[in-house]
Structure 1
Amino acid sequence: MSGDPKADTAADLALLARATGYALEGLAEVTRADLGRPTPCPGWDLRALLVHLADAAGSLTALARTGDLVPPGPPGHGGADPAAVARNRLLVLLDAASSAGYGTAARAAAVEVAAHGWDVGRACGSARPMPPRLAADLLAVATSSLPDALRPVSFAAPVDLPATAPAEDRLVAFLGRRPAGSPVSGTAS
Structure 2
Amino acid sequence: MTESQIAELYASAAATAVPVIDGIPDERLTAATPCPGYDVAGLLDHLYEVAVEFEKAARGEDMSFAATPPHRVHGEWRTGLNAAVDRLVAAWSAPEAMTFDRSSMGMPRRVVARMPVLDLVVHGWDLAVATGQEVRVDDATVTDLSAVLTELAPTGRQMGAFGAEVPVPDSAPAFDRLLGLAGRDPRWRQSAA
TM-score range, shorter chain: 0.7 to 0.9
How far apart are residue 100 of structure 1 and its match? Answer: 5.4
Q: Which residue is 2:107 aligned to?
A: none
Q: Which residue is 2:85 aligned to?
A: 90
Structure 2 residue 174 is the aligned partner of structure 1 residue 167: yes
Q: Which residue is 1:4 aligned to?
A: none
Contact 2:165–2:182 under 8 Å retained in 1: yes
Q: Which residue is 2:97 aligned to?
A: 102
Aligned residues: 178
Gaps of 5+ in 2: 99-109
CA-atom RMSD in angstroms: 2.1
TM-score when scaled to structure 2? 0.81
| Bigger Cα displacement from structure 2, 66-75 vs 88-97 | 66-75
SS at match of 1:156: coil
| Bigger Cα displacement from structure 2, 93-102 vs 56-65 | 93-102
Alignment equivalent of 1:19, drawn from 7, 13, 16:
13
Distance 1:53 1:44 in 2: 11
Alignment equivalent of 1:150, drawn from 150, 156, 163:
156
Show the 5 A alignment for 1:18-97.
18-72=12-66, 73-77=68-72, 79-97=74-92
Gaps of 5+ in 1: 2-6
Percent identity over the alignment is 30
Distance 1:28 1:78 in 2: 13
| Bigger Cα displacement from structure 2, 151-160 vs 130-139 | 130-139
Distance 2:38 2:76 in 1: 17
Distance 1:61 1:114 in 2: 17
TM-score when scaled to structure 1? 0.83
Q: Which residue is 1:116 aligned to?
A: 123
Letter of the structure 1 residue corresponding to residue 59 of structure 2:
R
How far apart are residue 58 of structure 1 and its match? Answer: 0.4
Post-superposition CA distance 1:89-116 (Å, at most 9, x none): 1101111122253232322221121111
